[in-house]
Amino acid sequence: MTTLDQMRVVIVGGVAGGASAAARVRRLCEQCEVVVLERGPYVSFANCGLPYLVGGEIADVDSLRVHTPASLRAQLNLDVRIRSEVRSIQREHQVITVAELETGREYELHYDALILATGASPVLPPIPGIGRAGHFSLRDIPGSQHFEAWIKDCWSCRAVVIGGGYVGLEMAEQLKRRGLQVTIVEGQPQVMAPLDPEMAAWLHDELRDNAVDLYLNDPVTAFEERRAGENALASVVVLKSGHRIEADVVLLGLGIRPESRLAREAGLKIGALGGIHTNAHLQTSDPKIWAVGDAIEVRDAVTGAWSLLPLAGPANRQGRVAADNIAGRLSTYDGAWGTTILRLFRLSAGCTGANEKSLRKAGIRFERVHLHHASHADYYPGAESIAVKVLFSPDSGKLLGAQAVGRDGVDKRIDVFATALKGGLTVNEIAELELAYAPPFSSVKDPVNMAGMAAQDVLAGDARVLQWNDMKGLDRGKVLLLDVRRADERAYGFIPGSIHIPLNELRFRIFELPRDREIILTSQSGQRSYFASRILIHHGFRVRNLTGGYRTWKTAAGSGPVYAARSPEPTWAAREP
Do 175 and 204 lie in a common domain? yes
Enclosing domain of residue 69: 4-121+257-326
Write out the E strands in 113-212. 113-116, 120-122, 135-136, 158-162, 181-186
pLDDT means over runs of 10, the chain (577 residues): 86 90 95 94 83 87 83 92 96 97 95 96 94 90 87 83 95 93 96 96 95 96 94 95 95 93 97 96 97 96 94 93 96 95 97 97 97 93 95 97 97 98 97 96 95 96 94 89 96 94 96 95 95 96 96 82 41 46
Q: CA neighbours within 13 Å on the CB side: how many for 428?
A: 8
How do 347-353 and 213-216 pair as beta strands?
A: unpaired
Do 350 and 364 lie in a common domain? yes
Do 244 and 203 lie in a common domain? yes
Active-site residue among 29, 48, 154, 157? 48
> Would you state the pLDDT for residue 575?
47
> Would you state the pLDDT for residue 507?
96
Angle (CA) 293-297-302 rounded to 5° is 110
Write out the E strands in 196-262. 213-216, 220-224, 235-239, 244-247, 249-252, 256-258
Residue type, 251: L
Report the predicted TM-score, pTM, of the whole model to 2 decimal places: 0.93
Do 76 and 10 lie in a common domain? yes
Whether 574 is in a domain gets the answer: no
Whether 22 is in a domain gets the answer: yes
Q: In the listed set 231, 254, 277, which residue is the last one of a domain according to the structure? A: 254
Whether 577 is in a domain gets the answer: no
- The enclosing domain of 358 has a CATH number of 3.50.50.60
Do 439 and 352 lie in a common domain? yes
Number of domains in the chain: 4
Distance CA(182)–CA(156), nearest Å, equals 10
Do 355 and 456 lie in a common domain? yes
Do 158 and 229 lie in a common domain? yes
Q: In the listed set 254, 274, 291, which residue is the last one of a domain according to the structure? A: 254
Whether 333 is in a domain gets the answer: no
Whether 339 is in a domain gets the answer: no
> Would you state the pLDDT for residue 145?
87
> Would you state the pLDDT for residue 1?
64
Do 353 and 403 lie in a common domain? yes
Whether 332 is in a domain gets the answer: no
Q: In the listed set 402, 426, 460, which residue is the last one of a domain according to the structure? A: 460
Whether 222 is in a domain gets the answer: yes
Whether 395 is in a domain gets the answer: yes
Do 104 and 249 lie in a common domain? no
Do 198 and 213 lie in a common domain? yes
Query: Which of 160, 141, 116 is CA-nearest to residue 53?
Result: 141
DSSP string, 407-438: SSSHHHHHHHHHHHHHTT-BHHHHHT------
First to last CA, the chain: 73
Do 451 and 354 lie in a common domain? yes
> Would you state the pLDDT for residue 562?
47
Residue 130: CB atoms within 10 Å: 17
CB 338 within 8 A of CB 352: yes
Do 475 and 455 lie in a common domain? no
351 is catalytic: no
> Would you state the pLDDT for residue 263?
97
